[in-house]
Amino acid sequence: MICLYVHIPFCRERCPYCDFFLVTKAGFVERFFEALAVETASKTSLFAGRSIKAIHFGGGTPSLVSPSFIGAWLLQISGLAQISSETEITLEANPEDLSPASLDALKAVGVNRLSIGVQSIADRKLRALGRAHSAADARRVVSEALERFRSVSVDLMCGAEGETLAEWEGDLGSSLGLRPQHVSVYMLTLEEKTRLWRDVRKGLRRLPGEEAQAAMYRMATELLCGAGYRHYEISNFALEGHHSRYNLASWMREPYLGFGPAAHSFLLSGETEMRFSNASSLTKYLADPAGAVDFRETLTGEQRFDEEVFLSLRIRKPLSVGFLRKGHKLGHRHLDSVLVTLQEKGWIGVESGEVTLTEAGFLFADLVAAELLSE
Ligand code: SF4
């Protein structure tokens, strides 16, 4: 089994907080899909004949391109590998791009899961985030998607300028009222060189502090878990059976193959594990879709250990103490004292020789990982 990822790098305009790789040149869409077909053909030996667990169209804004491009690429893949009714096919979408007709068209070409960048169902907050859609757009689109797709995910963001805990509670309540099968909750983070980052540095805008953001995160966990969602990853909540198969596979370190500029891949060959990334440049990608690579590396034993610890914590997968002892760089005694300290803080539990992050530990997963890795 393998998962496939396609990075569709087009957006109408860059949101003030976003540092993803993207371009705002919609005129290049057709050439991009021609290049994608070339890249796909060049990588056939890496997935031909294999069963495809999940396909994820991310970006950028995949809903900006015509569903016919998505359908043509899916047709190319289905001629080379096994896509079944069990294959999760997710497309990331923005509310302003979706209508009943476009939703029908996406479904007709094979998309069966929609991940909608709602961010908020409050007009004031959407304006503060610099988003193009309204709360009414978000409500309408989520309802229309739920009528058509077996699984709909909603992205929500907390920590916008001027946001209070009460506003966030209202946002969560409105979203839960729509009953999507999956909710992702992200805290607004200041990424360097973004417009928001510059405005905050100049004192033109102020965001809620860390404590306020942590309170919002805790509120999201409480309300979503109380409404029957399982908190299966730091930022992700799902009703039973509706977790993202693509994301979970990447956190479980299962193989995935990325297409498009800036797309990452993780492949296994016997005992060897390899990661590589396509060039983060549309110009380079269009010039050489099969060969424009930013980096390619075979993972060392230390990198594999670090990844296993870091990713397992994200999904609260238990880690055996024996495994941690083999990789911890400062010796058994140091690890044992780290485990005691982390338990006292309530961030991990240790039972039957296995270490698991606690619900309270989710907020501190990076710190826990750093301690376990002795960094
Ligand atoms: S729509 Fe998404 S990918 Fe595009 S700029 Fe906004 S946040 Fe970034």
**Do residues 307 and 199 share a domain?**
no
Looking at the fold, whether 195 and 331 belong to one and the same domain comes out as: no
Question: Given ligand 1 and candidates 8, 19, 22, 64, which is best to mutate, with the most ligand atoms within 8 Å of its CB?
Answer: 22
| Same domain membership, residue 231 and residue 137 | yes
Number of domains comprising the chain: 2
Same-domain pairing of 234 and 374 = no
pLDDT band at 188 (very low <50, low <70, confident <90, very high): very high
Q: Is residue 226 located within the same domain as residue 159?
A: yes
Q: Is 21 in the pocket of ligand 1 (CB under 6 A)?
A: no
Does residue 316 share a domain with residue 237? no
Say what the pLDDT of residue 373 is.
87
The answer to the question of residue 179 being in a domain is yes
Give the model confidence (pLDDT) of 298-313 as tens digits.
999 999 999 999 999 9
pLDDT band at 330 (very low <50, low <70, confident <90, very high): confident
Q: Distance from the CA of 61 to the center of ligand 1, in angstroms?
A: 7
Q: How confident is the model at residue 114 (pLDDT cuts 50, 70, 90)?
A: very high
Question: Which pLDDT value is given to residue 375?
Answer: 66
Residue 101 has pLDDT above 80, yes or no: yes
Q: Please indicate, yes or no, if residue 101 is contained in any of the structural domains.
A: yes
Per-residue pLDDT, 326? 85
pLDDT reported for residue 26: 84
Give me the torsion for CA of 187, 311, 260, 244, rounded to 10°. -70
User: Ligand 1 within 6 A of 247 CB?
Assistant: no
Cα distance between residue 128 and residue 168, in whole Å? 13
Give me the chain's average pLDDT, please: 95
Q: How many CB atoms lie within 10 A of CB 220?
A: 25
A 10 A CB-CB count for 233 gives 20
Cβ of 60 less than 6 Å from ligand 1: yes
Question: Residues 319-331: what's their mean pLDDT?
Answer: 86
Q: Write b or e for each residue in 314-331: b if 16 or more Cβ atoms lie within 10 A of its Cβ, otherwise e.
A: bbbebbebebbeebbeee
- Answer yes or no: is pLDDT of 331 > 90: no
pLDDT, one tens digit per residue, over 71-81 is 999 999 999 99
Element spanning 250, H or E: helix 245-251
- Measured by CA distance, the residue closest to atom 2 of ligand 1 is 60
**Nearest atom within ligand 1 for CA of residue 13:** 5
Determine whether the shortest distance from the Cβ of 186 to ligand 1 is under 6 A. no
| CATH number of the domain encompassing residue 313 | 1.10.10.920
Q: Express each pLDDT in 246-280 by its tens digit.
A: 999 999 999 999 999 999 999 998 889 999 999 99
Same-domain pairing of 189 and 334? no
Domain closes at, from 249, 268, 283: 249
Measured CA to CA, the distance from residue 236 to residue 241 in angstroms comes to 13
The mean pLDDT value for 119-140 works out to: 95
Distance 349 CA to ligand 1 centre (A): 37
> Could you say which of 190, 223, 249 is where a domain stops?
249
Give the mean pLDDT of 22-31. 92
3 φ/ψ angles, rounded to the nearest 5 degrees = -110, 150
pLDDT greater than 90 at residue 349: yes
Report which protein residue has its CA nearest ligand 1's atom 3: 60
For residue 117, give the H/E element and its range.
strand 113-119
Is the C-beta atom of 132 inside 6 A of ligand 1? Answer: no
Rounded distance from Cα 9 to ligand 1 centre (Å): 10
Same domain? 102 vs 33: yes
Longest dimension (CA), the chain: 62
Asked if the structure places residue 286 within a domain, the reply is: no
Q: Is residue 356 pLDDT above 70, yes or no? A: yes
**CATH number, domain containing residue 98:** 3.20.20.70
Q: What pLDDT was estimated at residue 374?
A: 75
CA-atom Rg of the chain in angstroms = 21
For the chain, give the percent of residues with pLDDT over 90: 93
pLDDT mean over 333-339: 89
Question: Residues 231, 305: one domain?
Answer: no
- 179 is in which domain, residue-wise? 2-249
Task: Specify if 223 maps to a domain.
Answer: yes
Same-domain check for residues 235 and 362 = no
Residue 203 within a domain: yes
- 211/308 same-domain check: no
Ligand 1 pocket residue status of 94, Cβ below 6 Å: yes
Task: Pick the last residue of a domain from 207, 234, 249.
Answer: 249
**Residue of the CA atom closest to atom 8 of ligand 1:** 18
Whether residue 307 sits in one domain with residue 236: no
Atom of ligand 1 at shortest range from CA of 11 = 4
Which H or E element spans position 185? strand 182-187
pLDDT band (50, 70, 90) for residue 39: very high
Mean pLDDT for 10-34 is: 94
> pLDDT band for position 329 (50/70/90)?
confident
